[in-house]
Amino acid sequence: MHSHTLVKKGQRVAATRAIPLVMKRASVERAAAIARTNGWVVDVLPLQSARVGLVITGNEVYQGLIQDRFAPILRAKVEALGSEVAAMDQVPDSAERIAATIHKQMEQGCDLLLLTGGMSVDPDDVTRHGIRRAGADPIHYGAAALPGAMLLVAYIGDVPLLGVPGCALHHPTTVLDLVLPRFLAGETIGRRELAFLGHGGLCQDCDRCTFPHCGFGKAL
């Protein structure tokens, strides 16, 4: 199967066949030895159960002028991967308040944070500034895939912070669905990984979404 494919226990992920009816044991053992030396042919990583914090930013949501639609979408994605939403806060467009909320959720034991709003390039989008003010380093802004090119990935120590692009409200599958399982599998996602999402990273916007049973975001 393609790399970075989400699989379930008991699912077949690879297969091989010997062309002759009979093979010498030495040939099979040599092939296995080559695979072990080079880090195996197939590696299946378990998903860890994370305590996820949701930081929903935006003055309109905070003031109750519009209803937040991000939280239920993100909660469903988190729980489908075997993790839990341990904290959820609505914060106005204030870099200082966003930074303070990030630290508060980390103090509450959240080991993965998802932040919404303010991921575009408008002057009043301050979520990125709040993440930077919280002490995140490094910060990677932008992924080579659509929808979801405005994904932000940052770290405070070993805690990942994901800035969720606004298109996650309208598209059932975005870059977030590509990287979230990889974070839960213990991978470190940086500039290189976000760039390589470009191969296969163009969603076809099918009338009926069949992800993950499609090529979106799957490298050869």
162, amino acid identity: L
Report the 10 Å Cβ neighbour count for 149: 19
d(CA 189, CA 140): 9
Residues of the chain with pLDDT under 70: 121-124, 220
pTM check: above 0.85? yes
d(CA 57, CA 96): 12
- Closest C-alpha among 151, 155, 158, 165 to residue 194: 151
What tokens were used for 57? 């930013």
- What sign has the CA pseudo-torsion 45, 47, 53, 56? positive
Q: CB under 8 Å, gap of 24 or more: what pairs does 3-6 form?
A: 3/218, 3/219, 3/220, 4/178, 4/181, 4/182, 4/217, 4/218, 4/219, 5/212, 5/218, 6/181, 6/212
Q: According to the model, what pLDDT value does residue 18 have?
A: 82
Query: Would residue 65 be called left, alpha or beta, if left means φ above 0 and alpha means ψ between -120 and 50 degrees?
Result: alpha
Query: Which residues share a beta bridge with 162?
Result: 114, 153
Question: Which ranges of the chain would DSSP assign to H, the alpha helix?
Answer: 25-37, 59-62, 70-80, 95-107, 127-133, 175-184, 191-196
Query: Which residues share a beta bridge with 55?
Result: 89, 115
The topology (CATH level 3) of 51-196 is Molybdenum Cofactor Biosythetic Enzyme; Chain A (3.40.980)
